[in-house]
């Protein structure tokens, strides 16, 4: 059995989704209510691989909302994640992905030190951040979607916003080792970590976002921002490719500018329909087939009976592990979401 721990993107989203989650009476409740709500299993899932193998899973709604971070309700936010993990373990789930902000909260607030949740001792090897598969899929999107929109990587400048993060640093490692990308622009706020990444890669230009965006042919957005940024579409080159892997989205603006192609980042499409309701609730374009790559990682680990925290900690994702998860991703019928033709 695999598990997915997820959350909704805003209070408004949670209120709108309450009915579909099976709790119409929550629709008018405010942030205080969501701060005290316990985790619950919102969906039972069956996934079939193209190999014919069939597995079962469950979606656990943690009731975390990004507004909890924005309003400094840190205790509520951390409780949501630990309680959701305990809930997954109590239900005997072998491998559970910590979706969206769940793993960011786990890492940023050192939740590894809180192993005892009531009568449960959390077994961390039952959880994965899903970030190795997410980083792999984003790199595939860079490589394949750039061709679709006529950008040649050997002549392209790629800006990574959130470059020092777990996913961002893995994307930089892959682009450096496996592609002939001409230039990498590294964007984040903490200069020391940017310097460390630049030293590790032996390349990459550290730039503030306002300077990087107009120079980039491709922008990979993987910053952990509770709310998206509003950016004037005119700053981007034409053509350019914007791959937004944030959850919630890093880009607030609905960009409708000729030549500026926006792609949902870190999303995979399965070759077969999946019977679930959760991807309707998070507004996927093709809810029966599209899902977050981090969720797909726990599905892949269950298919392969690889019961281990495949992605764990921060900035430890190697190109070899990305290749390994990529190979099983293809084997079971997943492919990266590309630009619609």
Residues that bind ligand NDP (CB under 6 A): 100-101, 103-104, 130-131, 134, 161-168, 187-190, 193, 222-225, 245-247, 266, 292-294, 314
As measured in angstroms, the least distance from the Cβ of 167 to ligand NDP is: 3
What's the rounded Cα separation, in Å, for the pair 274 and 217?
35
As measured in angstroms, the least distance from the Cβ of 143 to ligand NDP is: 17
As measured in angstroms, the least distance from the Cβ of 95 to ligand NDP is: 15
Helix (H) or strand (E) holding 271: none
As measured in angstroms, the least distance from the Cβ of 292 to ligand NDP is: 3
With a CB cutoff of 8 Å and minimum separation 6, the contacts of 24 are 18
101 vs 276 by CB, closer to ligand NDP: 101
As measured in angstroms, the least distance from the Cβ of 49 to ligand NDP is: 19
36 vs 191 by CB, closer to ligand NDP: 191
Yes or no: say if 160 and 171 are a contact pair by the CB < 8 Å rule. yes
On the question of a cis peptide bond just before residue 254, with omega within 30 degrees of 0, the verdict is no
Query: What proportions of the chain, in percent to the nearest 5, are helix, strand and coil?
Result: 40, 20, 40
What's the rounded Cα separation, in Å, for the pair 104 and 313?
10
* DSSP class of 210: H
Yes or no: say if 132 and 310 are a contact pair by the CB < 8 Å rule. yes
205 vs 314 by CB, closer to ligand NDP: 314
3 vs 266 by CB, closer to ligand NDP: 266
As measured in angstroms, the least distance from the Cβ of 169 to ligand NDP is: 8
1 vs 207 by CB, closer to ligand NDP: 207
Q: Which of 265, 218, 251 is nearest to 237 (CA)?
A: 218
For the beta carbon of residue 289, count every other beta carbon within 10 angstroms.
19
10 vs 154 by CB, closer to ligand NDP: 10
Q: Which residue is nearest to ligand NDP (CB)?
A: 165
Q: Is 233 helix (H, G, I), strand (E, B) or coil?
A: helix
What's the rounded Cα separation, in Å, for the pair 142 and 146?
6
166 vs 302 by CB, closer to ligand NDP: 166
As measured in angstroms, the least distance from the Cβ of 191 to ligand NDP is: 8
Kindly give the pairing relationship between strand 183-187 and strand 205-206.
Answer: parallel
């Amino acid at each position: 059995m695999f598990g997915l721990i997820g959350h909704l993107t805003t209070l408004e989203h949670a209120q709108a989704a309450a009915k579909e989650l099976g709790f119409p009476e929550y629709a008018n409740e405010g942030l205080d209510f969501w701060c005290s709500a316990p985790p619950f299993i919102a969906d039972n899932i069956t996934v079939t691989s193209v190999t014919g193998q069939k597995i079962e899973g469950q979606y656990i709604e943690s009731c975390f909302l990004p507004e909890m971070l924005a309003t400094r309700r840190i205790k509520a936010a951390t409780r949501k994640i630990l309680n959701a993990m305990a809930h997954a373990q109590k239900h005997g789930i072998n491998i559970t992905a910590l979706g969206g902000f769940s793993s960011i909260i786990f890492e940023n607030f050192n939740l590894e030190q809180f192993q005892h949740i009531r009568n449960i001792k959390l077994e961390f090897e039952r959880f994965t951040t899903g970030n190795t598969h997410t980083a792999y899929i984003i790199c595939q999107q860079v490589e394949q979607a750039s061709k679709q929109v006529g950008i040649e990587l050997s002549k392209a400048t790629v800006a990574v916003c959130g470059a020092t993060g777990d996913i961002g640093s893995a994307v930089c490692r892959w682009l450096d080792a496996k592609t002939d990308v001409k230039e990498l622009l590294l964007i984040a706020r903490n200069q020391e970590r940017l310097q460390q990444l630049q030293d590790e890669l032996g390349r990459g230009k550290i730039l503030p976002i306002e300077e990087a965006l107009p120079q980039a042919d491709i922008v990979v957005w993987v910053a952990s921002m509770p709310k998206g940024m509003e950016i004037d579409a005119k700053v981007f080159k034409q053509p350019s490719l914007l791959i937004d892997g944030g959850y919630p989205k890093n880009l607030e603006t609905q960009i409708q500018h000729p030549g500026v192609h926006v792609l949902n980042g870190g999303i995979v499409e399965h070759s077969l329909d999946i019977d679930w309701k959760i991807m309707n609730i998070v507004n996927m374009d093709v809810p029966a087939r599209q899902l977050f790559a981090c969720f797909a990682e726990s599905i892949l680990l269950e298919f392969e009976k690889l019961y281990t925290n495949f992605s764990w900690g921060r900035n430890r994702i190697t190109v070899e592990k990305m290749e390994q998860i990529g190979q099983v991703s293809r084997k079971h019928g997943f492919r990266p979401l590309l630009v619609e033709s």
